[in-house]
Amino acid sequence: MIDIKFLRENPDAVKENIKKKFQDDKLPLVDEVIELDAKSRATQQEADQIRSDRNKISKDIGALMAKGQKEEAEELKAKVAANAQRLAELEEDETELAEKIRKIMLTIPNIIDPSVPIGKDDSENVEVTRYGEPVVPDFEIPYHTEIMERFNGIDMDAAGRVAGNGFYYLMGDIARLHSAVIAYARDFMIDRGFTYCIPPFMIRSAVVDGVMSFAEMDAMMYKIEGEDLYLIGTSEHSMIGKFIDQMLPEADLPQTLTSYSPCFRKEKGAHGIEERGVYRIHQFEKQEMIVVCKPEESPMWFDKLWQNTVDLFRSMDIPVRTIECCSGDLADLKVKSYDVEAWSPRQKKYFEVGSCSNLGDAQARRLRIRIKGEDGSKYFAHTLNNTVVAPPRMLIAFLENNLRADGSVAIPEVLRPYMGGKSQLTPLN
């Protein structure tokens, strides 16, 4: 959510930003919110004047009563009563206007960084850098579930009977590999100075409203029936929510957290939910990282965050590349975003395994996360998030890039302590 003062003073810039995001249907909202804001400020001014007059008149009534001028005092009391009725009407108008303004402001996209490439959708995202040499072996790479099945490592049929499509059982060495990757990613981030956190796996609607747009919520979140609670679709939501309504001293910044959590997603409208395997699923686990920092530090932290993911994948010899999301592919709260994509030898192309985002002060403004400067100044924080690793897709990249011609899977040295010292997985069938 952008600053209403900025919108009021720079309506053309806000409209231009909307155009860059190819959301022209939202252009009329800028003029509408400016009109509502003018009414709101006028209403507040009148209400404040009545409150000021009320205090003065109350003193005058006391003075008149002390002089025995009851008739004059009663006239002033009648005026106070009339003003009270008008004030009640104005306060009701203030509340209604504020709600209308907030509702619109929540739908107007954040101002994107000037460096963001302009494009309509993800087909116009821009490759930034490649890390590692993509390799296509001289033997056939099976589909990832077929690789897992050779180790008796996955059972999607049983999961379908238990929970339906979009779920899976991981078994044996594949399940252990899944946990090993999570544990390694946790320690990797701790070694980089992040504080480990296991957050709540459910959040209230006030937090949901603060961290994402309604369109994202509708497509992602599972609502708990009869409760003001949602299952998290990603742990950065409850991690950022940790700071709701907080005033953070500058000396306590940056806040750098890395979290483990399960994630639950409806994947509403996602074409891939019908795909075989574990590309798009309703439940998975993830290691995440978030930063809450001073505004001037967020570009630096953005570069550090995506680099962490690149370094993690490269430490397991998985080739990756970074992709900058174009304007039309940015969610409304985002200022700038990179996707990290891993190489798939089977598909002979890269696919997304993580996403890094700088949200500026959009989430902080919605959640009222402020910083208190050493000079006494108060201002909104910047928030950032990035995927360390999400094992379902990570497993796909890992298995394909570490598969050998004999069907065994090499275990990189960094993972061996988490796999009981094993240097490879040997297929069972």
Which CATH number is 75's domain given?
1.10.287.40
Contact predicate 371/294, CB 8 Å: yes
Contact predicate 322/339, CB 8 Å: yes
The string of pLDDT tens digits covering residues 296-317 is: 999 999 999 999 999 999 999 9
Residue 36 lies inside a defined structural domain of this protein: yes
d(CA 359, CA 410): 38
Residues whose CB falls within 8 Å of the CB of residue 55, separated by 6 or more in sequence, listed in order: none
Residue 294 lies inside a defined structural domain of this protein: yes
- List the chain residues with pLDDT less than 70: 55, 58-67, 70, 73-74, 76-77, 214, 268-276
Q: Are residues 204 and 77 in the same domain?
A: no
Q: Are residues 86 and 208 in the same domain?
A: no
User: Which residues are registered as beta bridge partners of 340?
Assistant: 322, 354
Number of separate domains in the chain: 2
Residue 272: the pLDDT is: 46
pTM listed for this prediction? 0.89
d(CA 376, CA 243): 20
Residue 73: the pLDDT is: 66
Q: Which residues of 306-344 are buried (b: 16+ CB within 10 A; e: fewer)?
A: bbbbbebbeebebbbbbbbbbbbbbbbbbbbbbbbbbbb
Which CATH number is 254's domain given?
3.30.930.10
The string of pLDDT tens digits covering residues 386-416 is: 999 998 899 999 999 999 999 999 999 999 9
Residue 110 lies inside a defined structural domain of this protein: no
Domain that holds residue 352: 122-425
Q: Are residues 319 and 378 in the same domain?
A: yes
Q: Are residues 271 and 374 in the same domain?
A: yes
Report DSSP letters for 26-92, one per residue: GHHHHHHHHHHHHHHHHHHHHHHHHHHHHHHHHHHHHHHHHTT-HHHHHHHHHHHHHHHHHHHHHHH
Residue 197: the pLDDT is: 96
Residue 274: the pLDDT is: 43
Residue 82: the pLDDT is: 73
Q: Are residues 186 and 298 in the same domain?
A: yes
Residue 62: the pLDDT is: 65
Residue 40: the pLDDT is: 96
The string of pLDDT tens digits covering residues 412-426 is: 999 999 999 999 999
Q: Are residues 51 and 133 in the same domain?
A: no
